[in-house]
Amino acid sequence: MAMEYLVPKTLNETLILLKKGKDKSKLIAGGTNVIPGMRAKTLKPEILIDISHLKNLSYIKEEKKRIRIGGLTTISELASSKIVQDHAPILTEATNQLGNPLVRNRATIAGNLADASPAADTAVPLLVLDAMVMAERDGGKHREIPIDQFFLGPNQTVLKPDEIIREIVFPKPDPKSKMAYIKLGLRNAMAISVVSIAILMEREREECKKVRIALGAVAPKPIRAYGVEAILTNKKIMMELVAACCEKVGREINPISDIRASAEYRRSMASVLLKRVLHQTIS
């Protein structure tokens, strides 16, 4: 049976096509996840809906209290954005390390999130930025999904078959907050994460008042380290506390062994990287 290829001209037309196609349809923009999936026959859509021409979904906007990013904004646009650099440097760092220049020029932020890889590069910084995924359906139906509730497991999200990620929104972090991001791969460039980690911390004097920590490639989905955050909140950062956090993170994650690393190595490196980002934010 031949696959049907559709190119809607507007968002409304896209939503109508998704509603009609139900679970037979697949959206494609950059194609960096969809095309390899189709070649590997893990994706077999009967209808392919090309939304790469919907330019009104590609933007990075700064408002008084928040940043808004259109779902079709490319990774390279994020990496070079002055707005992102000023307010969310961990997202800049993550996008600069995603794939290679060809991939970054085509891949979109919505595609990276919708693919729901446990190692999704943009997911980890967006988790610590308290981002919201704004989904839309035909008929003007909108959903605001906290990103820590968006992922269900490998290649699974809460998105319904007729929904599209319209934009990602996050509040501007406190200018005095400290952030850090580290991605560990098997080589210096173009690598899928073995472990990735991001942190955002607000401090008063030497005490941690608020902290968010997220990790990728150490569980079936990108996760927040809520247990570690609880240990740190309203505490003075001492060596003993850092050691307790590094021990705790190993019990919060659920890594697997694959061709890139063993579960034991991932567990060990999650602890090592947590110690590094903690030192970066308190130094």
pLDDT in tens, the chain (283 residues): 578 999 999 999 999 999 998 889 999 999 998 998 999 988 889 999 999 999 899 999 999 999 999 999 999 999 999 999 999 999 999 999 998 899 999 999 999 999 999 999 999 999 999 999 999 999 888 999 999 999 999 999 999 999 999 999 999 999 999 999 999 986 555 568 899 999 999 998 889 999 999 999 999 999 999 999 999 999 998 999 999 999 999 999 999 999 889 999 999 999 999 999 999 998 8
Q: Write the secondary structure of 164-203 as one string of H (helix), E (strand) and C (coil).
A: EEEEEEEECCCCCCEEEEEEECCCCCCCCCCEEEEEEEEE
Quick one: pLDDT at residue 55?
86
Residues 227-257 pLDDT 10s: 999 999 999 989 999 999 999 999 999 999 9
Structural tokens at position 240: 């003993």
Spell 161-170 as b/e; 16+ CB within 10 A means b: ebbbbbbbbb
Parallel/antiparallel/unpaired status of strands 156-157 and 164-171:
unpaired
- What SS3 state is found at 163? coil
162 and 76 Cβ atoms separated by less than 8 Å? no
Q: How many CB atoms lie within 10 A of CB 268?
A: 15
Structural tokens at position 41: 């026959």
Please list the alpha-helical segments (H only) found in 120-262: 123-128, 226-232, 239-252
Stated pTM of the model: 0.95
Walk me through the domains of the chain, giving residue ranges and CATH numbers: 4-50 (3.30.43.10), 56-171 (3.30.465.10), 178-282 (3.30.390.50)
> What value does the CA radius of gyration of the chain take, rounded to a whole number of Å?
19
Pick left, alpha or beta for residue 217 (phi over 0 → left; psi -120 to 50 → alpha; otherwise beta): left
